[in-house]
Structure 1
Amino acid sequence: MKPNVPPRPFPWRHLLNWTASLGLLLFLGLGSELLLQQYALRQQQVEQQQLLAHANEASAVLLAELNATLHLATGLATYIPAKHGQIDPEELKPWLEGLFQQGRHIRNIGLAPDNRIAFVYPLAGNEAALGLYYPDQAKQWPAVQRIIASRTAKLDGPLQLVQGGTGLIYRVPVFLDDQRYWGMISTVIDFDRLYAQVEEVARQRNIALRLRPVAEPISASLTQTASEPARVKLPIVLAGAHWQLEAHNLIAAKPLPAWLRLLGWSLALICTALVSLALHAQHRQASLLLALNRSQQQFFDAFDMTPQGLALLDQQGSILAANRALCQLLQRSPATLLNQHLRQFCVASGHAQLNAELAATTPGHNRSWQQDLLDARGDSIAVMLSAAVLNGGLETGATRILHIQDIRESKRLLRLQNEFISTVSHELRTPLTAIIGPLELINAGALGEVPKALQPMLQIAQHNGQRLATLINDLLDIGKLAAGKMQFDVQPLALQPLIEQALHSNQAYAADYGVHLRQLASCAERVRVDAHRLQQVLANLLSNAAKFSPRGGTVDLYTERRDQHLRLYVRDHGPGVPAEFQEQIFQKFAQADASDTRQKGGTGLGLAISKELIEGMGGHIGFDSSEGQGATFWFELPLAEPATAERPA
């Protein structure tokens, strides 16, 4: 039995479909071509009209300037007969000066009795024209003869002038009262400057001009071909001169948009293209969905196999997913974690911090903080939490991903390190004190005169012993601060006596560097502060400012009230804080330039200790610096009572 094969369509049906498609394509294509031709013709007409208008405007400028100049020059022809052919240069000069002030493009005016130029105004720059005899000018003499014969003034040019440059010459024949020919008045128009003005007008209209003389008058014409832009030719007739002004656009006409032709020839394929696009879109959507499912599966596989704890949280902070590492860390099953708020697995004292940190986690603002979690037995686990907002919404609806790192071991190691440093520091302090004390007595001469050969070595030993004692004290303070054992005796105290004490205590140290400490204005406020810890902070800031100030410089200390806090500034005029060091300046053992710092002295702990002390007293610390322009360190302390007016220091 043969399979049920569907009947094949008749060949003429395919031929009809192809014919209909081709016919539709040709019909729409020819229609679009007709519309494009009409559009091109309209654009060509607009271009021609604009070109003609701009050319007429340039022609009008040229004629206006020439007419004004020729009108002024013609009046001089009446002067010669009135003076019976005599030329008085002193009498002519004021008149000619007036003509030049009104005729902007007149280069010079020459008087040529008997066809020889005997007077030129102005003479400067036109000396070569003086004494010129027209019959000797083979190119110009025929034109001069015609002017004399016709007794009519005529404009000639442009011509190359004997004095240099190009000019138009307006020649006026002069006849005396007895009709006897006297000579010629020639007004030379600076063609280069006049034509530059006309070309400037043309450039502003985006057209190019060419002016050339013609023998006979011509008629205006407008031509345009498929390969060349439109050109207009205008006749210019003035004072017997005939020119042709030719103009064309500098900017080529925009070709017809290619997309119009493509659109017309594509209409026949629109239906097929739409169907093809729909099928392609459906296939692409299915491919994207498959790729999304695969990507989600890979994400959840990686999420679950990560060796550190991970959790997905919704906007309220409830756990939507937890990986194996987190379940093992908390010793809980996934079922006991899902859909539970994270604060249920935190110690009660950390609920407020957790809520605040999660609320502050927004797109582009990731957060990291320490928290104590509770395992299934109720034991506390110190962890570092890092939260970030997911870019895309997964099908689970998670909006945050939380990274949980167990830091119990690192905190234990840090505690051991601090205990070791504290023990070593305590053990070193006693013998070091026993060493420094006798050295101070010996150097002070309390045990008798020290031989000169030993004095430098003993002073070096005392200086380095004191540096070592400072380092040990700093290490002990850092250890206390890290362990939370630093005691603060915060009381409301007047700040001015504390500032004066700090300046007095550190002035000798600053003098070793050739630096003077000064307070710009006295402070009358009272602040809540531990006096001893404040002296420690001020000593750190003042000594740093002195070390990095130039010799002969000053360190300024001043205060400013800011709302309910008082800010104290310590400003130096040294090299400033390098930009690459500014972020870690308050870290332990941080030094901008280790070699330079060691030359000046320092442990790299002073600013770190100052930060901890100021924050322990309820304030905060910071600095402002531009490299090469000094640095200003400041800290703020809460006011104990409303401030009073400052008095001069």
Structure 2
Amino acid sequence: MTSLTRQQARSRRRRRLNWTISLALLLVLGLGVELLLQQYALRQFEAAQQRLTARAGEVRAMLLSELNATLHLATGLASYISARHGQVHSPELQPWLDGLLRRSPYIRNIGLAPDNRISFIYPLAGNEAALGLYFPDRPEQWPAVQRIIADGKPGLVGPLQLVQGGSGLIYRVPVFLDDQGYWGLISTVIDFDPLYAEVERVADELNLAIHLERLDGAAASLVKGHDADGSPTVALQVQLAGAHWRLEAREAHAETPPLGWLRLLGWSLALAISSLIGLTLHGQHRQAALLLALNHSQRQFRLAFEMAPQGLALLDPQGRLLSVNQALCELLQRAPEDLLDQPLARFGDPTLSAYLDGLLGARDGRSAGSGHACLIDAHGESIDAALSAARLNSRTSGGDGWILHVQDIRESKRLQRLQNEFVSTVSHELRTPLTAISGPLELIDSGALGEVPEHLRQMLQIARHNSRRLGLLINDLLDIGKLEAERMPIACEPMALQPLLDQVLQSNEAYAAGHGVRLRQIGVCADWVRVDGQRLHQVLSNLLANAAKFSPPDQDVELRGERRGQYMRVSVRDRGPGIALAFHPRIFQKFAQADASDTRKKGGTGLGLAISKELIERMGGQIGFDSIEGLGATFWVELPLAEPALQEQPA
């Protein structure tokens, strides 16, 4: 397993560990959230129970208060009868009973039952059915009456269905005379429904729903109330005069604690914290991995720097050598210690100094990034070198360095020179026999040497056509050789552009007509340009010839001139098939042709556009094209305007 593979495996394990820690932290925080919510819900429940118990106690106190007031009135009546030795006079009792009923609005009637038979009842209206009631004849009531008599204490029973209708609570007080003889009962009937309605009203004001149950031993029966819905409740005992009730109360409109939102908030916070810690761990891991990768990259770069077959050097902003590789040391035949911390310009001629001045003065590092210069080795030998540089740490200010690539081109220049000399020699050697061939062919075809038989005329025309093509190829080869050897003289001077365009159109009109194409100029150019007239004629003739060659028959090739700032643009537009997108990068290269097959329909050497580019750039201009495949092409050249024309421009 390689070192890189082991590092990747450790990185994967570290990532899994980080995510495991984040997940475990999320679960721990989530458990803490749930515990806190549980404690919060418990405390809220306890507080609600306390509030509920207090309000239920108010309801119970109100119920007991109403009942006690009534029972005290009945007890007072029993004392009155005992004091009268059992003698009851209705006229005397009437005003006193009126006062009792006014003080206790829930008393339905008060009955006197000497010897357990109700012989007096007040008020009588509405209670006639109870008059004359004999308790021993009421099996549902007699046992309770017997217990009261036996205990000698008052007793409250009910609610019961009354013989006179409705339900009520009955408070029975046994009356004993001074000789402890049993006299009878005082029966006070409390109207239960309005009493309970008042109790419910008070409960509603306290936001309570109540249930009142009667307890008989272990059994419980609902007296009043509604079905419970599972809300928290409290149960209070209500005991009065032997009656045992249970009052249950719950919130009528319970407010549920916002546990859902609190849970969502808590889990969101837990997720945020665990995610933040996880991202922090991941960031630390990534930072460590990046540092590791950076160290690995630096080692790889250093290894590539040292082992590169071409010369490489690192320069500081002042052009001093910070580091050199073995190939550069061998090229200059110097030891590394002789090169380090020395200005690079010391090891070259003025061309190297000029290159470095342009390089170190360039802000973007591209305008002077490539070039040629001559280096000097330890023995004083000149070394032709191609130089290219790239800026290092370009985002910093004042501390930019450079990495310089040095390529020994002595051999390639020697081979190029031999190639150019060979092409030039071959071209010159071919021109002489070609002239000797094409001259006689012209004489024979013109009939100067006698009439040519018809069956030979076509063959002569083919021979003349191919000799012309060979002549053009030789001329192009000679031109490109001269340009590369910088032996082609170019003399730029101010010239009127329109006469040059007229000459070009006139000299190429016959060629275009041979292809069924018309040449036409759009507008008139009154400007002057600084060019070599003969070379501009050569360039425009090549562009017009190409446009005519690739245009469909009976179409126009348009020549147009227009001013663009300090340049005059001359464009040639055709309506041919256009230029394939894949061929765009190679169109100005030598011997480049869109159709390079042996059966291509259009002739040409593939040197015309390369020669045109060299000529235009030597004249200080630019050449280019615009084309969409299938919609024709427009080739253009931009020529520097002459000084007189520039001065005529408006300010």
| d(CA) in 2 for partners of 1:535, 1:511 | 19
- 1:45-60 equivalent positions in 2, closer than 5 A: none
| d(CA) in 1 for partners of 2:583, 2:557 | 22
| d(CA) in 2 for partners of 1:552, 1:637 | 30
Report deviation, 1:255: 9.6
- 1:484-499 equivalent positions in 2, closer than 5 A: 484-499=486-501
Match of 1:381 in 2: 383
Report deviation, 1:608: 0.5
The structure-2 alpha-carbon separation of the partners of 1:641 and 1:289, relative to structure 1 and needing over 3 Å to count, comes to: closer
Match of 2:502 in 1: 500
| Equivalent residue in structure 2 for 1:450, among 449, 452, 455 | 452
| d(CA) in 1 for partners of 2:561, 2:309 | 52
Task: Check the 8 A contact 2:30/2:267 in 1, yes or no.
Answer: no
Match of 1:559 in 2: 561
Name the amino acid aligned to 2:615.
L
Match of 1:82 in 2: none
CA RMSD of aligned residues (A): 4.0
Match of 1:509 in 2: 511
Task: Check the 8 A contact 1:312/1:319 in 2, yes or no.
Answer: yes
Task: Check the 8 A contact 2:570/2:636 in 1, yes or no.
Answer: yes
The structure-2 alpha-carbon separation of the partners of 1:298 and 1:508, relative to structure 1 and needing over 3 Å to count, comes to: closer
| d(CA) in 2 for partners of 1:614, 1:347 | 30
| d(CA) in 1 for partners of 2:493, 2:422 | 33
Match of 1:326 in 2: 328
Further displaced range: 516-525 or 22-31: 22-31
| d(CA) in 2 for partners of 1:264, 1:32 | 14
Report deviation, 1:261: 2.4
Further displaced range: 637-646 or 606-615: 637-646
| d(CA) in 2 for partners of 1:301, 1:393 | 25
Residue 529 of structure 2 corresponds to residue 527 of structure 1: yes
Report deviation, 1:33: 6.2
Match of 1:427 in 2: 429
The structure-2 alpha-carbon separation of the partners of 1:294 and 1:492, relative to structure 1 and needing over 3 Å to count, comes to: closer
Report deviation, 1:580: 1.0
Match of 2:638 in 1: 636
Residue 22 of structure 2 corresponds to residue 30 of structure 1: no
Task: Check the 8 A contact 1:369/1:386 in 2, yes or no.
Answer: yes
Name the amino acid aligned to 2:573.
R
The structure-2 alpha-carbon separation of the partners of 1:293 and 1:433, relative to structure 1 and needing over 3 Å to count, comes to: same
Match of 1:592 in 2: 594
Q: Secondary structure at the match of 1:388?
A: strand
Task: Check the 8 A contact 1:32/1:261 in 2, yes or no.
Answer: no
Report deviation, 1:529: 1.9
Name the amino acid aligned to 1:611.
K
1:204-249, CA deviations, whole angstroms, 9 ceiling, x for partnerless residues?
A: xxxxxxxxxxxxxxxxxxx9xxxxxxxxxxxxxxxxxxxxxxxxxx
Report deviation, 1:265: 9.4
Match of 1:347 in 2: 349
Further displaced range: 29-38 or 382-391: 29-38
Task: Check the 8 A contact 2:359/2:365 in 1, yes or no.
Answer: no
| d(CA) in 1 for partners of 2:41, 2:333 | 78
Identity %: 61
| d(CA) in 2 for partners of 1:584, 1:559 | 26
- 1:138-537 equivalent positions in 2, closer than 5 A: 260-261=266-267, 263-264=269-270, 293=295, 295-357=297-359, 362=364, 367-390=369-392, 399-537=401-539
Match of 1:601 in 2: 603
1:528-556, CA deviations, whole angstroms, 9 ceiling, x for partnerless residues?
A: 22222122111111100100111001111
1:56-85, CA deviations, whole angstroms, 9 ceiling, x for partnerless residues?
A: xxxxxxxxxxxxxxxxxxxxxxxxxxxxxx
Task: Check the 8 A contact 1:386/1:404 in 2, yes or no.
Answer: yes
| d(CA) in 2 for partners of 1:281, 1:489 | 66
The structure-2 alpha-carbon separation of the partners of 1:330 and 1:442, relative to structure 1 and needing over 3 Å to count, comes to: same
Report deviation, 1:369: 3.2
Match of 1:51 in 2: none
Match of 1:4 in 2: none
Name the amino acid aligned to 1:299.
F
Report deviation, 1:289: 6.0
Task: Check the 8 A contact 1:362/1:388 in 2, yes or no.
Answer: no
Unmatched runs of 5 consecutive residues or more in structure 1: 1-21, 39-222, 224-253
Task: Check the 8 A contact 1:312/1:398 in 2, yes or no.
Answer: no
Report deviation, 1:29: 4.2
| d(CA) in 1 for partners of 2:636, 2:430 | 33
Task: Check the 8 A contact 1:371/1:385 in 2, yes or no.
Answer: yes
Task: Check the 8 A contact 2:358/2:368 in 1, yes or no.
Answer: no
Q: Secondary structure at the match of 1:449?
A: coil
Further displaced range: 598-607 or 470-479: 598-607
Further displaced range: 363-372 or 536-545: 363-372
Report deviation, 1:24: 10
Report deviation, 1:629: 1.6
Report deviation, 1:520: 1.5
The structure-2 alpha-carbon separation of the partners of 1:325 and 1:549, relative to structure 1 and needing over 3 Å to count, comes to: same
Task: Check the 8 A contact 1:313/1:400 in 2, yes or no.
Answer: yes
Task: Check the 8 A contact 1:370/1:384 in 2, yes or no.
Answer: yes
Q: Secondary structure at the match of 2:645?
A: coil
| d(CA) in 2 for partners of 1:414, 1:361 | 34
Name the amino acid aligned to 1:529.
V
| d(CA) in 2 for partners of 1:300, 1:319 | 16
- Mark the structure with the bigger radius of gyration: 2
Name the amino acid aligned to 1:31.
L
Q: Secondary structure at the match of 1:539?
A: helix
- 1:68-107 equivalent positions in 2, closer than 5 A: none
Q: Secondary structure at the match of 1:599?
A: coil
1:317-353, CA deviations, whole angstroms, 9 ceiling, x for partnerless residues?
A: 4321100101111122222322333333332134344
Task: Check the 8 A contact 1:491/1:528 in 2, yes or no.
Answer: yes
Name the amino acid aligned to 1:436.
S
1:386-410, CA deviations, whole angstroms, 9 ceiling, x for partnerless residues?
A: 323457999xx87432222111111
Name the amino acid aligned to 1:472.
I
The number of equivalent residue pairs is: 404
Name the amino acid aligned to 2:36.
G
Match of 1:541 in 2: 543
Task: Check the 8 A contact 2:328/2:406 in 1, yes or no.
Answer: yes
Report deviation, 1:557: 0.9
Name the amino acid aligned to 1:528.
R
| d(CA) in 2 for partners of 1:320, 1:611 | 40
The structure-2 alpha-carbon separation of the partners of 1:536 and 1:583, relative to structure 1 and needing over 3 Å to count, comes to: same
Name the amino acid aligned to 2:524.
S
Unmatched runs of 5 consecutive residues or more in structure 2: 1-26, 44-228, 230-259
